[in-house]
Amino acid sequence: MNVLYVSQFFSTTRGGGEIVFYDWAVEMAKRGHNIFVICNHFEGVNKTNPEFIADGITIHIVKPIIKHKGELPPSISQNTGFIINAIVGGSKLITDKKIDIIHANNFTSAIAGSILAKINHLPVVITNHAIFTTNSPDNWNRWTAQNNTSRILTLLGPLFEKITAKVPADIIHAVSYATKEDLIRFNVKNKIVVIPNGINLRNYDDFELEHDYQNYILFIGRLVFSKNLDVVISAFKDVVKKIQNAKLIVVGDGPLRGRWEKMVTELGLTQNIEFTGLISHKRKIELLSKCSSLVLPSFFEGFGLVLLEAFAMRKPVIVSDQRAFYEIIDEGIDGFILPTHDSHAWAERMIFLLSNKTICQDMGNKGRLKVESKFHIDHVVEKLELLYNQVLSKKVKCQRILRHERS
């Protein structure tokens, strides 16, 4: 099978939606399929060599090449440039490599992938990770405020999301039932199939790190308003009253880093809360191997890939009361689900886990077993491969019917 992946950001480090696309492509290539990728961001890209092979997949970089800084979203001109160049470059690839099926990521990539499929008469699967607009009418206001971008995005954002969610596709792939529910609420008419995200445990086990449960809590994610890091920072004031040497390590970058660093200073927690910025995958795994637990206090998530990473390293998680998290966490078994904005509840659970290393280990081991049985990349790719074959079979059948009707 010759598969073209369209993902504006194609990354091993940036965000869950980009990382899973990379992992799917690599695993599909290992299964003997010919995998091609159109993107305009890839770590360490050489601008003089826009086409190269990495991990068995052929990657085509199209302009504008984006060097991601501070986790700011691409501009309107960058998005438009990507769509145009992805269509031009993708059409050539489709012809030269005899592509059978297109799989596009959401937002801008979905538009490019859908148009490519239409003009080249190919089936297309589009992955949707989450619907921003349906979760809160205020989300786009807060998004523009945190990035200091034009207020016009408050109006254009929901419209753009609606367009990208409703572009023509043979199948919409949702990463959770929560996302599927939001797509239905968004009045999406395409058929929706749920296949949850997964991770490649080899990317964690190959480091052969010892698991320990030291006196620190870990947060990993983009430093944007929806991650709701305020509640954990506020809660940590109570944590250090009970455990003076407790630490919170914040991994990631984004527009709210400065505000949250200032909050830490004002609360007198500079000795207890550390911001690392962006770090390597290896360093991330090292931190995961030694923390007592991972926190994800988001008030909006379509899945939460970092939770699987914590489970892979045998760590319990503390999460906010969001629908998607109930599809991953078993309350009190491998993690805790807390009221999103209740800092006292967050403090209590962090203190509990920091004070009970044996419980951390037991809960973390149960999380590991869950990943092995339910969220391993092999399970996900098997389902994707089956989905591609079903879509292709249906497309071929439809083409035969059309040819018969014309004759």
Q: Are residues 214 and 192 in the same domain?
A: no
Same domain, 56 and 135: yes
Per the structure, the count of domains in the chain is 2
Tokens of 401: 């019917």
186 and 103 share a domain? yes
Q: What mean pLDDT do residues 289-294 have?
A: 98
The verdict on 153 and 81 lying in the same domain is yes
Q: Do 191 and 225 share a structural domain?
A: no
Same domain assignment for residues 342 and 243: yes
Instruction: Write out the two tokens for 156.
Output: 């254009």
Same domain, 122 and 232: no
Same-domain pairing of 252 and 368: yes
- Name the CA radius of gyration of the chain, rounded: 22
| Co-location of 244 and 300 in the same domain | yes
Model confidence over 57-104: pLDDT tens digits?
Answer: 999 989 887 765 545 567 778 889 999 999 999 999 999 999 999 999
Q: By C-alpha distance, which of 251, 246, 250 is closest to 213? A: 246
Q: Which domain holds residue 70?
A: 2-198+376-406
The stretch 275-291 carries a mean pLDDT of 95
Same domain, 113 and 172: yes
369 shares its domain with 324: yes
Residue type, 117: A
Q: Phi first, then psi: give them for residue 293, nearest 5 degrees.
A: -165, 170
Q: Identify whether residues 194 and 209 lie together within a single domain.
A: no
Residue with structure tokens 């890209």? 45
Residue 179 belongs to domain with CATH number: 3.40.50.2000
Q: pTM for the whole thing?
A: 0.90
- The number of residues making up the chain comes to 407
Give pLDDT, residue 303. Answer: 94
Quick one: 152 exposed, middle or buried, by C-beta within 10 A (0-12, 13-18, 19+)? exposed
Q: What digits encode the pLDDT tens for the residues 119-147?
A: 999 999 999 998 887 766 676 666 666 76
Q: Which amino acid is at 378?
A: D
Taking the alpha carbons of 26, 31, 32, 36 in that order, is the dihedral positive or negative?
negative
